[in-house]
Amino acid sequence: MAAIKLHMLKPSVNNMSVRVFLRAGKLDFSEDDAWGKTRSDDFLAMNPAHLTPMIESPELPKGVMWESCAIMQYLAGKHGLDRLYPKSLEARAMVDSAMFYIIGTLYPYVARATYPALGFPQYAGEVGASDADPAAKAAAQKAAMAAVAEPLEVFPKFYLNGKPFIGGAEPSIADIRLAATLEFLAVVDYPLPAWAKAFTSAIEAKLGSAYAEPAADVRGYVAHVKSQKH
């Protein structure tokens, strides 16, 4: 049996991050498709937050953990994957800062811009999840799309700062998390800036099938959703 069991959803970029990481780190893992299972009694008994990606490992205090970035941090540390998660505290601080910025600031805008097109449920309290009329929902989605630009520009200006990756010459877990996040923007034909296109190509070239295989699942879903609209 593989050492790490990942419960995952194939169309999700949160999941794609960990799926790319496991492959890039050449870890011993198996994947279980959690489609339709996350609210089951068995899953909720393990994980009351009902979120994927989730890994099972008997060494964890409760046997499981979730949150894509925390999973990558834990497994990179445990398996000595310093090339993906640098050991130097200062380099690591930048990787951590970038990941928190993605999860806390960039991703919520990406979600509000893309979830309506992806057919994913939106978060309670947001216009998209309310009983507002379609015009108000469309305006909210448009506003979220416009808001993506500012946090996106922070990456070339600050985190990349002339380097190919946040991690430097090699992609780090923050780069994996950023590239996966950008994948969803294709569903709304978001015009990615030139640096972001170059960044995505560079990470694909560096990671090869470790990136391409999980990306194909997300891209397949995005293509399917787009084909339904035309």
Ligand X SMILES: N[C@@H](CCC(=O)N[C@@H](CS)C(=O)NCC(=O)O)C(=O)O
Task: Give the binding site for ligand X (CB under 6 A).
Answer: 9, 12, 14, 38-39, 50-53, 66-68, 103
Residues 67, 17, 78: CA angle, nearest 5 degrees: 65
Rounded to a whole number of angstroms, the minimum distance from the CB of residue 32 to ligand X is 13
Shortest Cβ distance from residue 67 to ligand X (Å)? 5
Q: In whole angstroms, what is the distance from residue 7 CA to residue 125 CA?
A: 28
The nearer residue to ligand X, 12 or 114, going by C-beta atoms, is 12
Where does residue 133 rank: exposed (0-12), middle (13-18), buried (19+ CB within 10 A)? exposed
Least Å from the CB of residue 25 to ligand X: 17
- For ligand X, the closer of residues 53 and 86 by Cβ is 53
Q: Which is nearer to ligand X, 13 or 94 (CB)?
A: 13
**Closer to ligand X by Cβ: residue 68 or 200:** 68
Structure tokens at 108: 């919520």
Positive/negative CA dihedral, 64, 47, 34, 201: negative
CB nearer ligand X, residue 9 or residue 76: 9
Least distance in angstroms from the C-beta of 169 to ligand X: 26
Distance between CA atoms of residues 147 and 144, nearest Å: 5
What is the DSSP secondary-structure string of 155-195?
IIIIIITTSSBTTBSS--HHHHHHHHHHHGGGGGT----HH
Amino acid identity of residue 2, one-letter, is A
